[in-house]
Chain A
Amino acid sequence: MSTVVFLEHHEGELLKGALGVLAKAAALGDDSVAGFIAGADVEELAAEAGKYGAQVVYVADDPRLAAPLPQPRVDVLASLVRDEGFDTVLFGASVLAADVAGGLAARLEAGLNWDLVDLERRDGELVGKRPALGDSVYVDVGWRDGPRIALFRPGSFEPEAGGGEPSVERVEARIEDFSLAATMVEQAHEERTGPSIEDADVIVAGGRGLGAPEGFAIVEELAKALGGAVAATRAVVDAGWYPYASQVGQTGKTVAPKLYVAAGISGAIQHKVGMQSSNVIVAINKDRNAPIFEYSDLGVVGDVHEIVPKLTELVRERRGS
């Protein structure tokens, strides 16, 4: 069996989600685990991929791949999979990765299973695990034959450093005309400090219970003290209190950090599906009957405006900062 992992990158760094998938692929004990990097001036990322377990890194370095758009990547990856005979192609989910995986499935007439949280080998066959129907049931999914394509939910696997120097293979980018029809006019970036919510080990999330947009200041302070990222519910994003990129839930991101602190979040099902696979959940809410208390490890009934700043202070003391 031979696996290639789509290694997405942003501003000169490989994404943690993709590196986690690379670690998973290596742990499955494949004959060889390869990474695929597409972009412009990206060759130096290959060494980084090696550190995280890629034995071979295929690099498509081409100015036409500079913008993070899916269709040219489908062309190059489809040729690579065919030419090298890969039977498994794995992706850490993202806006870009989902579009590449979907296009690749059609191009190769290959099976795509999405939203997986795990992958294992059972009697020689790969079996994926997919939470479904609001994570109320876990479905074992498989593939008829190769190539098998999978998209993993963010936070499913931890990256593991400890690899070596990879062998780097340059890939020629043969791109179809229709794949170049969509063009990037402006690649914008929201101002952000600290890790993104996909990459963070700790997430502090705020909801309506913060009372006002200014209420997010206490959430930001706590996130900073814990070295984490800030997330928000759909209600407050819709209300314009916080940017969409931070939205967790059914219409936002699905995250699974080591610690999720929910401040002033009632935890309706739409939010729950985006964060319930977090390792440890701590919730603070003034309503004793808030649904979030049903699936938190520690629930605190109280006022976020009193508890969160105090907690921030204690965390700072404890961490000596």
Chain B
Amino acid sequence: MAEGEVARMSVAGWAFLAVSWISITALAAFCIARVLKSDKKAGADETPLD
């Protein structure tokens, strides 16, 4: 690549970015929701581990 020549975002680039971001965000949100749900079930916002 010559100096000044810039590659633009390709369709594949957008696809890799979107799939990565969406899958990580979804899985992280799922995990946090489950933690909060099980904590709520245990009767407290911050479940004492003892």
Mutual binders A and B: no
A residues adjacent to B (C-beta < 8 A): none
